[in-house]
A and B are shown apart, each in its own frame.
Chain A
C-alpha cells in the first residue's frame, strides 16, 4: 500500500543519511573502549579547544540574544526608514557561505584590511586571535533569536502593552512585565538554535583563526585537525562530544518548539 511505501521511504532515507552514519561514528569512537576515547578528548589541545568553544559561545549567544530581542522589537513595533533593509540584513548570514564570512572579516580586520593598519599600530590582535573568532561566530548565529521572536511579537499584538501603559507602566516596566514573559518561549527556542549554530561553526572560524593548535582551535576545527593528522580515534571522540551536544540541542528544541511546527 502507498502508505507503507511512503513510510519506508521517509524512515529509510533519514536512517541511511543521518542515523546510521552517526551510529558508526559512535561505534568507532569507542572501538577500543571508553579509555582511549576519553584520553583523546582530554589531551591539552582538546581541552583547550573545548573551553575556547565554550568561551566563544558564552560571549556570542548572550550578545545575539540581546540584539535579537531588541531588533525584533524594532522590526515589529517601530516604523523607520530602512525597515526592509534591516529585515533582509538579519537573514543574510543564512544565505552566506561561512568561508565567505571569514573572508569578509579578514578583509576588514586583517593585515591589509580596512582596520588592519590601525589595529596593528595599536597592537590589537583580531585575526588569528579570539576576537575574530567571536565576531565570526556572532555573524553566523545572528538571525535565530530575531526570527523566532518576530512572529511571536506579531501574533501577540501590542494591545496588552497599550493596556499596561494606560495603567501607568513605564516603557521598561511594560517590557519587563508584559512583553518579555509573552515572548520567553520564542527567545528560549532562539537561544537553543543560536547556541547550536555557535558550537557548530567551522568554515568562518577556520578562515579567521589560523587554526593554531592549542591556541585558536575550537572543537570543530580540532576535529578537522585530528582527522588531517590521521588520528581517527581523536577525531571520532571529539565528534562524539559534539554529537552529544547536538542531541541535547534536539531535545531542547523539541521542548521549546513553537506551536506551528508541532506534528499532531
Chain B
C-alpha cells in the first residue's frame, strides 16, 4: 500500500496541500481527480519525492520514504509533456534506468525488447522522440518508467497533451496494461470521465484537500458534498436540492409533487435529448432524456411542462 499521511505543502503563501491523507491499495489503479490548483499534481510529486512536504509522511509499502531521494524510492514517473530524453533514441530512453543500474547488456537488451513490444513501439527503437507522435512518446515514457520495475507508477496528467481521440485510445490501453502488469498505479487527471472509466478508486481533491475517496459508482450516486457532485457529473440546483439532469422527470400534467416550468430550448444529440427549462420563479434547469421520451412528450420551445426530481441530494452546508 502507498500512503500519504497528513501531508501539507506550501509554495510561499499558497497552500497547495492541507493535511492530506490518502491510501492507495497495492496493485490498484487510483485516480487523483480535481480542478487546476486542487493540489493533485503536487501530491503526486510529493509521493515521488520531487517535492518535499512541509509536514506529514509518505509511506511506500510500509517504509517511511519521506526523507528518501526520488532516485531511491523505486517510483516510476510519467510526465504530462513526456520529458523524453530528446537526444537519445527510443531504445536508449527506455534502457536508461537499466543502464544507470548497470544491468548486464544482454538483460537490458531483452527487457527493452519486451517493453517496446508491450507498448507496441518495437519498430521505433531507433527513432528519436522528435520523430514520434504525442501518443507514441507517451507510450515510450511509460515503457521507460516500467523498465526498472517500480513499486508504484505515477502518472501526471499523462494524456493531457494529446488530442481527444488519442486520449480515449490510450485511456483504454492504460487500463488493459494495468490489468496485465498489476503495478500499483496512481494517476492525476482533471477529466472525470477519464477517472471514472479507468480507475478502481478515485480521490477527489479541491483546494488542497481531499473531498471524497470512493469508486466511480459511489462517487456519482452518493457524493459527499456539492463540490464532488457537480465535479463528477452535470447537476441542477433546485432550491436546496441537487438533482442530476437525468433524474428530472418531465410530465405534461401536474401530479401534486411537480413544479410548473416552460421549455426554453430542446437540443437533439443523437440518442440523447436535452431540454432547457425555466421555472415560474425564474430558476433555470435542464433535463436529460432519451430521444424517444422527448418525442413522446412532444416538446418544443414554449411548451408548458411539469418537473419532478426522481432523486435528489441535499447537503448540510448548502448556501441559498
Direct contact of A and B (CB under 8 A): no
Chain A interface residues (CB < 8 Å from chain B): none
